[in-house]
């Protein structure tokens, strides 16, 4: 799944993002508006990670979103 899909439907994905990164506030999650760089930066800050590690975690989360969408695609 491309990031643009997540960004374009952020209201749907922000619940999953909040579940993944519970240290982020609702305002921080909503404030990203699906912007990947902003989300990565917030994750990096909240979890005291290197930029590379934060990017890896966002990539991993993005991959999980593909898996969540797979059953719906089969319908």
How does pLDDT run across 28-44, given as a tens digit for each residue? 999 999 999 999 999 99
Within a 10 A sphere around the Cβ of 32, how many other Cβ atoms? 22
**Number of domain units in the chain:** 1
Instruction: Give pLDDT, residue 38.
Output: 97
Instruction: Give pLDDT, residue 71.
Output: 46
Show the domain range for 68. 3-74
Is the pLDDT at 75 greater than 90, yes or no? no
Contact (Cβ atoms closer than 8 angstroms) between residue 40 and residue 60: no
Instruction: Give pLDDT, residue 24.
Output: 97
The domain that holds 17 is classified in CATH as 1.10.1470.10
Q: Which two tokens stand for residue 3?
A: 């990031």
pTM comes to 0.85
Alpha-helical regions (H) of 23-50: 26-32, 36-47
Tell me which H or E stretch contains 58.
Answer: helix 51-74
């Amino acid at each position: 799944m491309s990031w643009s899909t997540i960004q374009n439907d952020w209201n749907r994905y922000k619940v999953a993002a909040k579940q993944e990164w519970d240290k982020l506030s609702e305002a921080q999650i909503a404030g990203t508006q699906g912007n990947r760089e902003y989300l990565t930066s917030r994750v990096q800050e909240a979890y005291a990670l290197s930029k590379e590690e934060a990017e890896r975690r966002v990539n991993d989360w993005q991959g999980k979103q593909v898996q969540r969408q797979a059953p719906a695609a089969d319908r």
